[in-house]
Amino acid sequence: MAIPNMQIPSRQLFIDGEWREPVKKNRLPVINPATEEIIGYIPAATAEDVDIAVKAARRAHGRNGWGSTTGAQRAKFLRAIAAKVLEKRPELATLETIDNGKPWFEAASDIDDVVACFEYYADLAEALDSKNKTEVKLHLDSFKTHVYKEPLGVVGLITPWNYPLLMTTWKVAPALAAGCAAVLKPSELASITSLELGEICREVGLPPGALNILTGLGHEAGSPLVSHPDVDKIAFTGSGPTGIKIMTAAAQLVKPVTLELGGKSPIVVFDDIPNIDIAVEWTLFGCFWTNGQICSATSRLIIQDTIASQFLDRLLEWTKNIKISDPLEEDCKLGPVISRGQYEKVLKLISTAKNEGATILYGGERPQHLKKGYYIQPTIITDVDTSMEIWKEEVFGPVLCVKTFKTEEEAIELANDTKYGLGAAILSKDLDRCERFTKAFQSGIVWINCSQPCFWQPPWGGKKRSGFGRELGEWSLENYLNIKQVTQYVSDEPWAFYKSPSKL
């Protein structure tokens, strides 16, 4: 498919089903990470805009509004959104690429997942109609109880820049499926496709206020959204430090939060792998996919010492073969990181690792053939000690650090030697061993003989400092539902707790 040549659409804030200029009329530049050029502008919301959007969402969710629709009614809108996204797939993928820097074929694959995700939650929305009055068996015949599932209310959704439209969909689709009205605040570093979702919602006739989209800076738009008293829940994906601030602010109102934060995930490779090239490719994919900017990246390679030399030689050959180019070029497999700030952060972490005594086996700098853009070679770092920053801290770039092990016990200890707990992978033909590691990994996700495959049906989330709560699957829908107990006294007999007054 030919990649379309795109201009950035000029949008405002999407509030109450309309495009509205920010109250303070501020705008932020959009910088293409492949060229470092300003390619457009997005509106910058402030607390005043947040208040307007939350009020619109509250009206939409009110009596006889979006919150009182049936699941079947909501499903029609979700499927209409999916169809419109599919229709605009080439354009959306291109906007994603020039905004975010990921290779175009990856962006296009993300758009396919967006379509599937909206369709999946349309099915779950329909199924809610038969589940929202589930009987609970009691030990007393004089009572009947059922559980009623209702939308939680107005929800604030804050999404990251590494999967702009897909991460938006992970939150918007289940929130709308549940009947919540939402205010979305995407990352200011990659907001274009989230704004286009607003246009799609307008085109399909989504009721005004059901979804509102505010672009802008975190401290100007995100913080007021979190602390707004009329927002019933916050769902956030992003960095640990920001997650801590959100928890602190939400706690003041005893507001529930779902947090999907950072990671420093291990990939453990044993010497019984049947095919070294298959294992090498999964190792590369687990760390360098999405330009290394993925919270679940298996960026700590823990490899059995008996095959370490052979494995690293082959890993080096594969890494040198990765095409690094403008992400709109055909067969590009590694594009630029998102911004100058991220570029400088990644290079500093690599430099610190070298200064601490680690060896830069490959990469660690700008590719020589690319003079502009925030490009960093895929980087492999060996001679790593567990006290080093590169072992402990999330890089969020194409950087893989390596340690060896001798025994299973040592491998488990190294794998769990992190404050994070999002993902973990094991590569071995011994399935009993894989089961032992599945139980031993301190993580929310385990991959066996692969790394990073992600589907919309199973749950996604972590433990420790990777956050709590689950997205995707039926678990995500539950995030946006209030579970209400309804108990009815059905006996004709008096309750007889108090002594009846004498009859006159």
Length of the chain: 504
Q: CA nearest 18: which of 203, 178, 167, 171?
A: 203
Alpha helix (H) ranges present in 33-146?
A: 47-61, 71-87, 89-100, 104-128
Q: Which residues have a Cβ under 8 Å from the Cβ of 190 and sit 6 or more positions away? A: 96, 99, 100, 161, 162, 164, 338
3-state SS class at 79: helix
Q: Which of 106, 260, 394, 471 is catalytic?
A: 260
Q: What is the DSSP string of 198-234?
A: HHHHHHHTPPTTSEEE--S-IIIIIHHHHH-TT--EE
Tokens 């309804």 appear where? 486
Q: Is 119 a catalytic residue?
A: no
Longest distance between any two alpha carbons in the chain, whole Å: 102
CA distance 185 to 45: 9
3-state SS class at 118: helix
CA distance 204 to 16: 14
CA distance 431 to 271: 14
CA distance 147 to 373: 55
Tokens of 323: 């095409």
Cite the active site residues: 260
